[in-house]
Amino acid sequence: MITLRKSSDRGHADHGWLKSCHSFSFADYRDARHMGFGNLRVINEDRIAPGTGFGTHGHRDMEIVSYVLSGELAHKDSMGNGTAGAAVSGVIRPGDVQRMSAGRGVMHSEFNHAADATTHFLQIWIEPNVHGIEPGYEQKHFDAGSKRGTLRLVASPEGRDGSVTIHADAALYSGLFDGAEKLTRALDPARRFYVHVVRGSVTVNGQALQGGDALKIEADSSLSIEGGVDAELLLFDLQ
């Protein structure tokens, strides 16, 4: 079964400094039909105005993945990441995938320090399969070549193939498709799959999709991607 979720059907919030589109219920946006999908709880497409950001706030027992599309996002947390002299700068840029395991509790902030550029990124929350663990942080870069015409694993429970490690029964893939590039792959019909088009246009399992559109795929055994026009997409493999 395939269910189309159009970009225009998402929740929207305009806070002036922050403009956000919510794929699932979040903050003041509530829709009982869209509370998450499997253990995928949040996909927020955020645009942060220059010189602004999220002040220090807390999370617990959630796997949080940040995926920057343009601009830069400066992260600072109570684990010491992003502070002067830290081993991890906490600044993420296009091509980077950042994973923060909130565990038993973590405080952090996210900021756009640019004077004249908006930071455009996806904030993704996945429910963990363990609770009360030590908070953790990881950040890796995945170049465009590794995603061109294929699905590059960028997050997984085991950190396999150089992906970041998440404490959840989920895997996240990123792909770039344009022109004649196409991909077909088998799916486990016992799993749930969620395709989110980051930008551009592409046809997935016969559905023409634009940036911000998504497909929920359940009890299906195959995935086909073709007809991309400067397309970037994410595939979630979920419990």
Residue 55 confidence (pLDDT) above 80: yes
Closest CA to 143 of 200, 191, 180, 95: 95
Kindly state the tokens that stand for 115.
């004077």
pLDDT tens-digit profile of 10-52?
999 999 999 999 999 999 999 999 999 999 999 999 999 999 9
pLDDT at position 83 = 86
Distance CA 67, CA 147 (A): 14
Residue 89 confidence (pLDDT) above 90: no
DSSP letters of 130-165?
S-SPPPEEEEEE--GGGTBTS-EEEEETT-GGGPEE
Mean of the per-residue pLDDT values of the chain: 97
pLDDT at position 195 = 98
pLDDT tens-digit profile of 77-87?
999 998 887 77
Domains identified in the chain and CATH numbers:
2-238 (2.60.120.10)
Q: How confident is the model at residue 91 (pLDDT cuts 50, 70, 90)?
A: very high
Residue 4 confidence (pLDDT) above 80: yes
pLDDT tens-digit profile of 149-183?
999 999 999 999 999 999 999 999 999 999 999 99
